């Protein structure tokens, strides 16, 4: 088979150069200018969001846009999380080391953008490593916080294993196909056994694909590569947890979509390969849903709960990869994944803002720290309620629309293939479990009484704006289909 390749151009990567350039400016300013370092958070956030807006022009890059906006909002969260950050980095009010903490998310975001432009395994791997290496440093950045150090080490060790799987899978892929390109021609060539029609080549190719997908599952938090998420989300700095939960997950699903796209041609019911792929994806989806949603039920720490929530939400997104016939089209699948990620981001980011606010002023990230918030801060409690209701999939929120799409794709697959009704039962049970554990925080705000020492929270302007905008987006996007239909 001939080794064909696509050509990359410098213009493709201008947004990545801009993000890395802004990170370099922050590092230089941090070293040579005596400015309050909180300013760099606003500068970096503005640069990331503006860069994301530029990605909507011409041929829109919606995944890149979502990653840039999520990165910008994580940097704004670092602005509000300033006091805790300084105490955890330098042990006091000193701003030493704070600038680098604000530059790393921009470098990681550049890696996510490059993922959206990649058409071969080499570019995918290099872009992914830019993201993951930056994320390792961010997770363990609070050197005076034992939980952050443990999170960084665990993320590094398990991430190295997933990287090894990706590299080994890429090597086998090249050996079986003769190219690093991801395309239907390479897949067809390898599955037919190459020029010699050898079963060994087809078997080696399937092994390569299995390793590549396992590496991708680590990035999105899917079973069996999910074990790092709860500990890392709980121990990492809250702005980092927000970045990993949204921006990094966007990168992971961009990788998974790229790896899955060449197989779209085989996702038709008359194909025996289709049955194999659908059953494997169904099993991974069910395991991810059960681990994430049932694991969240007993959690008392809000960040750890969102960690298990991230696993469970990944399970619902994986349902889109079950699609056969029309739903197997890579563009259709990508649009479904994008819609779900936007709904997930619009609910998860304000949830982390709420946790950061409570941690800063009440000194705890436990669910019990939200007690009585509806009495002391009723408007803020309502905005937080909208975020968690959207995560649960309450009707008239954007999260409900996104989950409904996942159920539609799963039901359409079951109508084409027998024996998958059990997956629908799992999805229903896990969706119901989500109502229970997300509403634990809502119950704490509305049903538990504040303690005498619980004063009204002082809600920072940035937090207020993010909570309000995301709540409005969740409600408008959740009700808009009804208005348009009406």
- Those residues with Cβ within 8 angstroms of residue 192's Cβ, 6 or more apart along the chain or in another chain: 202
Q: How far apart are CA 58 and CA 54, in angstroms?
A: 9
DSSP letter at 261 equals G
Q: What is the pLDDT averaged over residues 163-175?
A: 94
Place of tokens 């999260």: 399
As a residue count, the chain comes to: 486
pLDDT in tens, 18-27: 999 999 999 9
pLDDT in tens, 209-248: 999 999 999 999 999 999 999 999 999 999 999 999 999 9
User: Is 60 exceeded by the pLDDT of residue 4?
Assistant: no
pLDDT in tens, 308-328: 999 999 999 999 998 877 666
Q: What is the pLDDT averaged over residues 80-107?
A: 82
User: Is 90 exceeded by the pLDDT of residue 394?
Assistant: yes
Q: How far apart are CA 308 and CA 430, in angstroms?
A: 12
Whole-model pTM over 0.75: yes
Q: Phi, psi (5° rounding) for residue 323?
A: -55, 135
59 pLDDT band, cuts 50/70/90, is confident
User: Is 50 exceeded by the pLDDT of residue 403?
Assistant: yes
Q: What's the confidence (pLDDT) of residue 1? A: 42
Least confident of 92-96, 110-114, 151-155, 283-287: 92-96
User: Is 70 exceeded by the pLDDT of residue 2?
Assistant: no
Q: What's the confidence (pLDDT) of residue 267? A: 80
Q: What is the pLDDT averaged over residues 423-436?
A: 96
Is there a contact between 74 and 102 (Cβ–Cβ < 8 Å)?
no
DSSP letter at 451 equals P
Take residue 306 and report the two structure tokens written for it.
Answer: 């969102």
User: Is 60 exceeded by the pLDDT of residue 264?
Assistant: yes
198 pLDDT band, cuts 50/70/90, is confident
Report the 10 Å Cβ neighbour count for 53: 12
Is there a contact between 371 and 454 (Cβ–Cβ < 8 Å)?
yes
Q: What's the confidence (pLDDT) of residue 410? A: 92
Q: What's the confidence (pLDDT) of residue 485? A: 52
Alpha helices, DSSP H, located in 140-183: 146-177
Q: What's the confidence (pLDDT) of residue 436? A: 95
Is there a contact between 121 and 182 (Cβ–Cβ < 8 Å)?
yes
92 pLDDT band, cuts 50/70/90, is low
**Exposure of 464 by Cβ count < 10 A (0-12 exposed, 13-18 middle, 19+ buried)?**
middle
Q: How far apart are CA 376 and CA 115, in angstroms?
A: 44
- Those residues with Cβ within 8 angstroms of residue 226's Cβ, 6 or more apart along the chain or in another chain: 217, 288, 291, 292, 311, 314
User: Is 90 exceeded by the pLDDT of residue 58?
Assistant: no
Alpha helices, DSSP H, located in 229-363: 229-235, 238-243, 249-260, 272-296, 302-318, 330-362
Helix (H, G, I), strand (E, B) or coil at 301: strand
B/e letters for 110-137, b = 16+ CB within 10 Å, e = fewer, are bbbbbbbbbbbbebbbebbebbbbbbbb
Q: What's the confidence (pLDDT) of residue 38? A: 87
pLDDT in tens, 451-469: 888 888 999 999 999 999 9
- What pairs with residue 301 in β-bridges? 366
Q: What's the confidence (pLDDT) of residue 419? A: 84
Take residue 324 and report the two structure tokens written for it.
Answer: 């056969």
Q: What's the confidence (pLDDT) of residue 354? A: 96
Tell me what the pLDDT averaged over the chain comes to. Answer: 91
In the chain, what percentage of residues exceed pLDDT 90?
72
Widest distance between CA atoms in the chain: 79
In the chain, what percentage of residues exceed pLDDT 70?
95
Report the 10 Å Cβ neighbour count for 353: 31
Task: Establish whether the linkage from the previous residue to 224 is cis, with ω within 30° of 0.
Answer: yes
83 pLDDT band, cuts 50/70/90, is confident
Helix (H, G, I), strand (E, B) or coil at 181: strand
Q: What's the confidence (pLDDT) of residue 327? A: 64
Take residue 236 and report the two structure tokens written for it.
Answer: 């990492």
Is there a contact between 369 and 358 (Cβ–Cβ < 8 Å)?
yes
End-to-end CA, the chain: 55
* CA nearest to 476, candidates 398, 399, 400: 398
Place of tokens 């019911």: 269
- What pairs with residue 120 in β-bridges? 181
Q: How far apart are CA 163 and CA 166, in angstroms?
A: 5
Q: How far apart are CA 232 and CA 449, in angstroms?
A: 31
Is there a contact between 51 and 19 (Cβ–Cβ < 8 Å)?
yes
Give the Å distances, CA to CA, from 369 to 101, 211, 385, 400: 27, 42, 15, 27
């Amino acid at each position: 088979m001939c080794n064909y390749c696509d050509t990359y151009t410098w213009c493709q990567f201008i947004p990545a150069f801009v993000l890395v350039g802004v990170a370099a400016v922050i590092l230089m300013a941090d070293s040579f200018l005596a400015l309050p370092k909180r300013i760099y958070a606003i500068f970096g956030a503005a640069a990331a969001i503006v860069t994301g807006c530029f990605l909507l022009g011409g041929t829109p890059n919606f995944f890149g846009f979502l990653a840039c906006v999520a990165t910008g909002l994580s940097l704004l969260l670092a602005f509000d999380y300033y006091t805790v950050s300084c105490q955890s980095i330098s042990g006091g009010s000193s701003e030493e080391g704070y600038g680098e903490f604000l530059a790393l998310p921009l470098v990681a975001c550049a890696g996510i953008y490059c993922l959206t432009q990649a058409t071969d395994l080499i570019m995918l791997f290099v872009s992914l490593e830019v993201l993951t290496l930056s994320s390792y440093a961010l997770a363990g950045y609070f050197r005076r916080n034992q939980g952050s150090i443990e999170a960084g080490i665990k993320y590094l060790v398990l991430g190295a294993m997933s990287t090894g799987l990706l590299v080994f899978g890429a090597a086998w892929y090249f050996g079986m196909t003769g190219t690093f390109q991801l395309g239907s021609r390479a897949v067809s060539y390898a599955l037919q056994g190459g020029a010699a029609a050898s079963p060994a080549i087809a078997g080696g190719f399937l092994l390569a694909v299995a390793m590549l997908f396992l590496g991708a599952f680590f990035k999105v938090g899917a079973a069996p590569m999910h074990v790092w998420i709860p500990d890392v989300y709980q121990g990492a700095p809250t702005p980092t947890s927000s970045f990993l939960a949204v921006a990094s997950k966007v990168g992971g699903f961009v990788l998974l979509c790229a790896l899955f796209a060449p197989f779209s041609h085989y996702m038709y019911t008359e194909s025996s390969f289709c049955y194999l792929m659908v059953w494997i994806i169904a099993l991974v989806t069910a395991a991810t849903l059960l681990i994430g949603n049932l694991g969240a039920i007993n959690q008392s720490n809000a960040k750890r709960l969102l960690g298990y929530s991230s696993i469970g939400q990944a399970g619902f997104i994986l349902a889109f990869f079950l699609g056969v016939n029309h739903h197997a089209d890579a563009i259709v699948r990508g649009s479904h994944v994008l819609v779900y990620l936007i709904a997930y981001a619009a609910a998860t980011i304000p949830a982390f803002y709420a946790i950061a606010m409570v941690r800063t002023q009440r000194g705890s990230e436990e669910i019990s720290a939200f007690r009585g918030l509806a009495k002391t801060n009723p408007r803020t409690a309502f905005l937080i309620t909208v975020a968690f209701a959207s995560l649960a999939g309450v009707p008239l929120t954007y999260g409900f629309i996104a989950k409904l799409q996942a159920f539609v794709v799963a039901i359409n697959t079951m109508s084409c293939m027998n024996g998958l009704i059990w997956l629908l039962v799992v999805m229903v049970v896990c969706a119901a479990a989500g109502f229970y554990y997300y509403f634990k925080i809502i119950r704490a705000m509305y049903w538990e009484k504040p303690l005498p020492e619980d004063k009204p929270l002082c809600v920072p302007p940035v937090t207020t704006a993010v909570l309000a905008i995301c709540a409005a987006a969740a409600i408008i996007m959740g009700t808009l289909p009804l208005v348009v239909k009406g």
